[in-house]
């Protein structure tokens, strides 16, 4: 199964397989660099988010919703922006890892 894609590529044209053998290692390094950069950004944004430990106690103590200006505009707050950045970095890491393993399948390499 691993060599199926690589044999298909080699049967098409030798120039195409030469391109893939030179392109895929560079592509993997680029993907690995993107994953590391996104992981660092994700760690920093996670550490910058506020820690609301009082929300977990609201279920036990019957604490109600806050009706302040800050609570109403939580979508535009700093924490929501950091949360969106964290989620987008996780999605980028997921996509890059899938592309990395697909490139390994194309090259016919085993893990």
Give the pLDDT score at 23. 84
pLDDT tens digit string along 37-96? 999 999 999 998 877 655 555 555 555 555 666 556 655 688 888 999 999 999 999 999
Residue 17 pLDDT: 64
User: What pLDDT does residue 39 have?
Assistant: 96
The answer to whether position 60 is within a domain reads: no
- Residue 108 phi/psi, 5-degree rounding, is 80, 25
Supply the mean pLDDT for the chain.
Answer: 77
Residue 55 within a domain: no
Task: Please check whether residue 54 lies inside any domain of the structure.
Answer: no
Decide if 10 is inside a domain. Answer: yes
Q: Which of 89, 10, 103, 106 is nearest to 44 (CA)?
A: 89
Rounded to 5°, the CA angle 11-1-22 comes to 50
Domain tally, the chain: 1
pTM of structure = 0.66
Provide the pLDDT for residue 3: 61
pLDDT of residue 73: 63
What's the pLDDT score for residue 19? 72
Domain membership of residue 95 as a residue range: 2-49+66-107
Among residues 111, 107, 108, 110, which one has the least CA distance to residue 22? 107
Per-residue pLDDT band at 5 (split at 50, 70, 90): low
Residue 40 in any domain: the answer is yes
Tell me the C-alpha distance between 99 and 28, whole Å. Answer: 9
In a domain, 19, yes or no: yes
């Amino acid at each position: 199964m691993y060599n199926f894609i690589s044999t298909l590529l080699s049967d098409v044209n030798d120039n195409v397989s030469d391109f893939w053998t030179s392109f895929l290692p560079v592509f993997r390094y680029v993907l690995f660099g993107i994953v590391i950069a996104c992981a660092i950004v994700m760690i920093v944004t996670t550490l910058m988010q506020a820690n609301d430990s009082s929300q977990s106690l609201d279920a036990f103590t019957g604490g109600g919703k806050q009706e302040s200006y800050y609570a109403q505009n939580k979508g535009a707050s700093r924490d929501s922006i950091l949360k969106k950045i964290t989620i987008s970095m996780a999605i980028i890491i997921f996509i890059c890892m899938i592309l990395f393993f697909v490139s390994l399948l194309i090259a016919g390499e085993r893990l």
